[in-house]
Amino acid sequence: MAEHGAIFDAMLQEFDGAARLLKLDPGIWRILTHPRRQVVVSCPVQMDNGEIEVFTGYRVQYNITLGPAKGGIRYHPNVSLDEVTALAAWMTWKCAVAHVPFGGAKGGIICDPTKMSRRELEALTRRYVAEIVDLIGPEKDVPAPDVNTNDQIMAWVMDTYSMHVGHTETAVVTGKPVEMGGSLGRREATGRGVMVVTREAAAHLGLNPDTLTIAVQGFGNVGSVSAHLLSQTGAKVVAVTDWKGGVYNKAGLDIDRMLAYAAEHKTIDGFPGGEPLSNDDLFGLDVDVLIPAALENQITAENAPRIRAKILAEGANGPTTPEAQKILHARGVFVVPDILANSGGVTTSYFEWVQDRYGYFWTEAEVNQRLDQKMREAFAAVLATSVKYTTDLRTAAYIVAISRVAAVTKLRGMYA
């Protein structure tokens, strides 16, 4: 890759700090900062009005040292090769931190799915899969849902691939409907992982995990599940915001009622269980835990000095800018980074892949128990590394990830 974009450069900034502490071999450093494969495809689709549109799609396999590539497919007008490459790199490190035998990949199509019919989306999905069919497979590259894609789109991916290979292959994709080989517990997995690391962080800091006060930014899948599961443990969720508004109640919010309200109104704005609250005010609340579970770059150099939470558990990808990270670390905020905190999703995707390959499915309780164990192990490894290198958890997570990929890279050697 001759030129890097801003998003990939942000990934490199995080990588470089950890690689320096690790004293990474320069040759391995060069290997791990270049994507293995970047594919650009054209996807012609006949639209409902009879006209043909040609959509641009990408699939980047960043690294497959530890196993098949793993990563979602997103549909969005702003998808770019730079973004997809950076996300594929982050997936590499996330899988390595979670200690699952996958490499990192990502895919995307430049489109606006909100302006497309179901038939058009299906046609686009199937054409995209047909264009990358030789790249993917249960032993090569396993896609999953991402921004603006869901279990139905994964069902179309699985069916299209299966038609090409001549047999039903459920393990080619994760995040499928349960009826066709999806895993129980997958929908809640990312939020459940956030809950587990939040409680582990609290215990490490000497806080009672059962009496935490919590503020959550974002009430989509990750934020709502995190809030719900933490409230069930006895923690008090006092504030929640979403894209439209927010609610604060010092005595604690009724998350079950909030879930029902959000399902009906598509927002929590106006929820009758507390006072109105803005995103700006959320960040300044005096709480034990802040969970940013919305968009990237929400915590910046401007608002980081106002954060009073003791723990910041990143449910979203990239919610904290590098400048904000430095401020938070200097102020003693215990930041559990995204590649650790929200790795419950890819961990349970791994469980789904295992179940599909094995042809035997676990109960939801078994899935959750295995996820709990994996998240605890990942947190313990990152925490021990942060102590060993006297650094923050984000850098420590990268050290864990890079060292695991680098060790196997050296063992495998160079094929020439």
Name the token pair of 293. Answer: 């579970």
Give residues with Cβ within 8 angstroms of 332, minimum separation 6. none
Candidate list 94, 106, 176, 310, residue with the active-site label: 106
Residue 81 zone, left/alpha/beta (φ > 0; ψ -120 to 50; rest) = alpha
User: Which tokens hold the place of 69?
Assistant: 């590539």
Find out whether 105 and 38 touch, Cβ atoms under 8 Å. Answer: no
Reading across the β-sheet that carries 69-76, which strands appear in turn?
37-46, 52-63, 103-110, 69-76, 141-145
Dist CA 416 CA 414 (whole Å): 6
Burial readout 266-279 (b: 16 or more C-beta within 10 A, e: otherwise) = eebbebebbeebeb
- How far apart are alpha carbons 293 and 198 in whole angstroms? 13
- 374 catalytic per annotation: no
CA distance linking residue 330 with residue 381, whole number of Å = 22
- DSSP letter, residue 370: H
User: Can you read off the two tokens belonging to residue 203?
Assistant: 């215990």
Sign of CA dihedral 214, 219, 223, 226: positive
Positive or negative, the Cα torsion across 136, 137, 143, 149? positive
CA–CA separation, 390 and 107 (whole Å): 36
Sheet of strand 311-313, all strands in order from the earlier edge strand to the far edge: 275-276, 246-248, 236-241, 213-217, 289-292, 311-313, 334-336
Point out the residues that are catalytic: 106
